[in-house]
């Protein structure tokens, strides 16, 4: 940083002069105050890049002055170097505790004061720049989140066709690689849950590719058969990402169900993610085809589809892998698919409106202090 502004606080004018002379190699922009009170008054007007603070001053001493500076959010990040007469460890500790970043023992060595000031001005400048850049990145990600949330269907839309349903959507980051779609194409209600490769920003980009393609397939091409929807989605993703020429294995795991609520008909097709049914307190897993949507490895795919007979009281669940893969519990292990199925059987007894909260609670209980490792989405419904 060229010509940083430095405030020297010392009641002894000789010390101010000596420090100023030493710093003339670093900057010409030097302010001084002969008391703590004066320093605080100056800080109401200007934000220097660094403060050199004497400890022993009549009136407010250096420690107290720094405590007050640190209590002011606008000035708190200005680095303070204490000027200590005594090379005593207690004074140094108190200086650090008050919020100082360093100290220089009097009488000053020019080289030392220059080196310490330059180091802390640099750290301070980089920290400020980093904070600014982080803010810009977060602004843009938060904006992306708004776009992504606007693209997801509202739970009320789903509930208009499937009154007994819920969505638990709990992304790991601000934006999500998990996404879901709902299409009301009377007599069909089509529900799709997908988990894109990656989470965060790359996952979110994949989710936009997936959502755009799915809406074309169902709403423009009028395709309602779950297996055909997956075939088309796979072809679209490979084409959009140019995977047949350039390779790449980005894609998504998807469960698609097509339901006619009035006739109690249900068809499903699944890529890499199973589909669950709870009946009489028991969870059945309907296995997925072992190939994902997208990816150059597999060439052209044909997904299988099946219909499921529905009995009164059946509850169905679509879920991404984020819950079962979450580390937690006493030993920090994964929750595991088997326990997840047991959990579904347990919560299926609850009224549907309470199930999302129950799953959320169990997730938090399991996770404890562990960070969430992946996006978590679970959709449940009863006909």
Q: Which residues bind Mg ion (CB under 5 A)?
A: 195, 320-322, 374
When the beta carbons of 61 and 321 are compared against Mg ion, the nearer one is: 321
Q: How far is the CB of 324 from Mg ion (least distance, A)?
A: 10
Q: What is the DSSP string of 319-360?
A: E-TTTTT-EETTTTEE--HHHHHHHHHHHTTS-HHHHHHHHH
- 254 versus 308: smaller Cβ distance to Mg ion: 254
Q: How far apart are CA 130 and CA 126, in angstroms?
A: 6
Is the CB of 236 or the CB of 374 nearer to Mg ion? 374
Shortest Å distance, C-beta 375 to Mg ion? 6
Who's near 50: CB < 8 A, 6+ residues apart? 4, 5, 6, 7, 78, 79, 80, 81, 117, 120, 121, 124
Nearer to Mg ion, 267 or 340 (CB): 340
Q: Provide, rounded to whole angstroms, the least separation between the CB of residue 176 and Mg ion.
A: 10
Q: Report the half-sphere exposure of 66 (CA within 13 A, side-chain side).
A: 32
The answer to whether the beta carbons of residues 345 and 382 sit under 8 Å apart is: no
Alpha helices in the chain (DSSP H): 13-23, 36-43, 62-71, 89-98, 110-151, 155-161, 200-215, 226-240, 243-246, 337-347, 352-367
We find the least distance from the C-beta atom of residue 292 to Mg ion, in angstroms, to be 12
Measured from the CB atom, the residue of 236 and 321 that comes closer to Mg ion is: 321
Cα 137 from chain centroid (whole Å): 12
What's the order of all strands across the beta sheet hosting 275-279?
165-170, 376-382, 315-319, 275-279, 282-286
Q: How far is the CB of 73 from Mg ion (least distance, A)?
A: 39
Least CB distance to Mg ion at residue 333 (A): 18
Q: Cβ closer to Mg ion: 10 or 253?
A: 253
């Amino acid at each position: 940083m060229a010509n940083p502004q430095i405030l020297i606080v010392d009641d002894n004018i000789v010390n101010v002069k000596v420090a100023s002379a030493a710093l003339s190699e670093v900057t010409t922009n030097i302010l001084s105050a002969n008391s703590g009170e004066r320093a605080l008054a100056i800080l109401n007007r200007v934000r220097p890049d660094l403060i050199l603070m004497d400890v022993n001053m009549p009136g407010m001493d250096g420690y107290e002055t720094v405590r007050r500076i640190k209590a002011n959010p606008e000035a708190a990040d200005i680095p303070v170097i204490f000027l200590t007469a005594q090379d005593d460890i207690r004074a140094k500790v108190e200086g650090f505790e008050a919020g100082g970043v360093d100290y220089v023992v009097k009488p000053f060595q020019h080289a030392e004061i220059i080196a310490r000031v330059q180091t802390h001005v640099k750290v301070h400048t980089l920290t400020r720049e980093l904070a600014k850049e982080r803010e810009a990145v977060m602004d843009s990600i938060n904006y992306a989140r708004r776009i992504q949330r606007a693209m997801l269907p509202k739970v009320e839309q789903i509930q208009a066709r499937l009154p007994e349903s819920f969505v638990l959507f709990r992304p790991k980051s601000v934006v999500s690689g998990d996404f879901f779609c709902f299409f009301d194409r009377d007599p069909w209600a089509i529900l799709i849950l997908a988990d894109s490769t990656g989470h965060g920003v790359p996952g979110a980009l994949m989710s936009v590719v997936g959502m755009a393609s799915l809406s074309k397939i169902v709403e423009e091409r009028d395709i309602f058969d779950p297996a055909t929807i997956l075939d088309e989605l796979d072809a679209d993703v490979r084409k959009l990402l140019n995977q047949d020429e350039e390779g790449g294995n980005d894609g998504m795991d998807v469960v698609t169900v097509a339901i006619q609520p009035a006739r109690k008909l249900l068809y499903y097709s699944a890529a890499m993610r199973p589909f669950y049914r709870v009946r009489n307190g028991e969870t059945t897993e309907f296995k997925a085809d072992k190939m994902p949507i997208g990816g150059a490895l597999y060439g052209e795919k044909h997904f299988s589809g099946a219909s499921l007979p529905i009995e009164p009281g059946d509850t169905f669940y679509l879920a991404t892998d984020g819950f079962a893969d979450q580390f937690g519990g006493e030993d920090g292990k994964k929750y595991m698919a088997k326990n997840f199925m047991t959990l579904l059987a347990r919560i299926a007894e609850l009224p549907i409106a309470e199930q999302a909260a129950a799953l959320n609670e169990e997730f938090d209980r399991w996770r404890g202090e562990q960070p969430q490792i992946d996006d978590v989405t679970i959709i449940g419904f009863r006909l």
